[in-house]
Chain A
Amino acid sequence: MSYSFDWSSIPGALPYLWHGARITLEITALAILVGIVWGTVLAVMRLSGHALLAAFAALYVNLFRSVPLLMVILWFFLIVPAALRALFGEGMPDIRLTSAFVAFSLFEAAYYAEIMRAGIQSVPKGQLSSALALGLTRGQAMRLVVLPQAFRNMTPLLLTQAIILFQDTSLVYVIGLADFFGAAYKVGDRDGRIVELLMFAGAAYFVVCFAASLAVRRLHSRVASP
Chain B
Amino acid sequence: MGGYHWNWGVFFQQVPSGGATYLDWFVQGVEWTLLVSAAGWAIALALGALLGVLRTVPSRALRGFAAAYVELFRNIPLLVQLFLWYFVVPELLPKALGDAIKGSPPLAQQFVAATLCLGLFTAARVCEQVRAGIESIARGQRAAGLALGLTLPQTYRFVLLPMAFRIILPPLTSEALNIIKNSSVVSTIGLIELSRQAQQLVDYSAQPYEAFIAVTIAYLVINAVVMYAMRWLEHRTRIPGYLVAAK
Contacts and interface: CB of A to CB of B under 8 A. Distances in A.
Interface of A: 1-3, 63, 66-71, 74-75, 78, 82, 86, 167-168, 170-171, 173-174, 181, 185, 194-195, 198-199, 201-202, 205-206, 209-210, 213
Contact of B80 (A67, A68, A82, A202): A202
Nearest to A182: B79
Interface string B183-210: 1110110000001001100100000110
Interface residues of B, number: 42
29 contacts: A1-B92, A1-B94, A2-B98, A3-B91, A3-B92, A63-B220, A66-B177, A66-B220, A67-B220, A69-B181, A69-B184, A70-B187, A70-B195, A71-B184, A74-B195, A74-B198, A75-B216, A78-B212, A167-B75, A171-B185, A199-B84, A199-B88, A201-B80, A202-B76, A206-B72, A206-B75, A209-B74, A209-B75, A210-B75
B8 interface: no
A173 B83 CA distance: 12
Given A66-B220, A68-B219, A167 B83 contact: no
A72 to B, nearest CB: 9
Contact of A205 (B80, B95, B188, B198): B80
Nearest to B89: A195
Nearest to B97: A2
7 nearest A-B pairs in the assembled complex, by CB-CB distance:
A209-B75, A2-B95, A68-B184, A167-B77, A68-B181, A70-B184, A170-B77
A198 B187 CA distance: 18
A167 B71 CA distance: 14
B184 to A, nearest CB: 4
Main secondary structure of the interface of A (DSSP, over half): helix
Contacts of A67: 181, 216, 219-220
Given A74-B195, A86-B1, A195 B208 contact: no
Interface in B51-80: 71-72, 74-80
Contacts of B81: 202
Interface in B213-234: 215-216, 219-220, 223-224
B133 to A, nearest CB: 20
A181 B209 CA distance: 29
A113 to B, nearest CB: 16
Given A70-B185, A181-B77, A194-B88, 16 more contacts: A1-B94, A2-B95, A66-B181, A66-B223, A66-B224, A68-B185, A68-B195, A70-B187, A82-B1, A195-B88, A195-B91, A199-B84, A206-B75, A209-B76, A210-B71, A210-B75
A157 to B, nearest CB: 15
Contacts, number: 102
Interface in B68-123: 71-72, 74-81, 83-84, 87-88, 91-95, 98
B182 interface: yes
Nearest to B219: A67
Nearest to A66: B223
A168 B77 CA distance: 6
B212 A174 contact: no
A202 B84 contact: yes
A71 B75 contact: no
B79 A170 contact: yes
A205 B220 contact: no
Contacts of B208: 78
Contacts of A185: 83
A172 B216 CA distance: 19
Contacts of B91: 3, 195
A105 B123 CA distance: 28
Contacts of A210: 71, 75
Contact of A198 (B72, B80, B177, B195): B80
B94 A2 contact: yes
Contacts of A195: 87-88, 91-92
Nearest to A69: B181
Nearest to B99: A2
A71 B182 CA distance: 11
Nearest to B81: A202
A71 B215 contact: yes
Nearest to A211: B75
A219 to B, nearest CB: 17
